[in-house]
Amino acid sequence: DTEVTQTPKHLVMGMTNKKSLKCEQHMGHRAMYWYKQKAKKPPELMFVYSYEKLSINESVPSRFSPECPNSSLLNLHLHALQPEDSALYLCASSQDTTWGVQGKGGYTFGSGTRLTVV
């Protein structure tokens, strides 16, 4: 299995709702990432998990809460979001967080969750 699976594909939520985004990979990758992408912009890093531990939080507001229950799963819990948080949320994984001298440092991205906050 060479895929990263994200659910749901689309999500519309109100500003008072609580929802979760899910991400799963079975490639044995030990690094997992959450990215946010606005239209016509590059992906913007939010969180990095390395060996199931949070290693990087790019100063993301606390209304976004990541969780890594095991090495295959990554969740992003959403609460009290704002309309400006509407974006494509991408999960990615890689073998680990090192730069992959053997050329295996590429990230595998999921197809994303398109989130609209109303």
Contact 14, 116 (CB under 8 A): no
Residue 32 binds to other proteins (criterion: CB under 8 A): no
Question: Minimum distance between the CB of residue 60 and other proteins, rounded to whole angstroms?
Answer: 14
**To 5 degrees, how large is the angle CA 63–CA 106–CA 100?**
110
Residue 10 touches other proteins, criterion: CB under 8 A = no
Contacts of 27 (CB under 8 A, 6+ apart): 1, 2, 93, 108
Contacting residue, 14, 82, 106, 116, with other proteins by CB under 8 A: 106
Residue 1 binds other proteins, judged by CB under 8 A: no
CB 18, min distance to other proteins, A: 25
- Per rule CB under 8 A, is residue 81 in the interface with other proteins? no
Contacts of 116 (CB under 8 A, 6+ apart): 10, 11, 12, 13, 86
| Contact pick of 21, 25, 78, 112 for other proteins (by CB under 8 A) | 112
Task: Please work out, in degrees rounded to the nearest 5, the angle formed at the alpha carbon of residue 104 by the alpha carbons of 34 and 9.
Answer: 30
Q: Which amino acid is at 110?
A: G
Nearer to other proteins, 90 or 115 (CB): 90
The residues of the shown chain that bind other proteins, judged by CB under 8 A, are 33, 40-43, 45, 48, 55-56, 88, 90, 92, 97-101, 103, 105-112
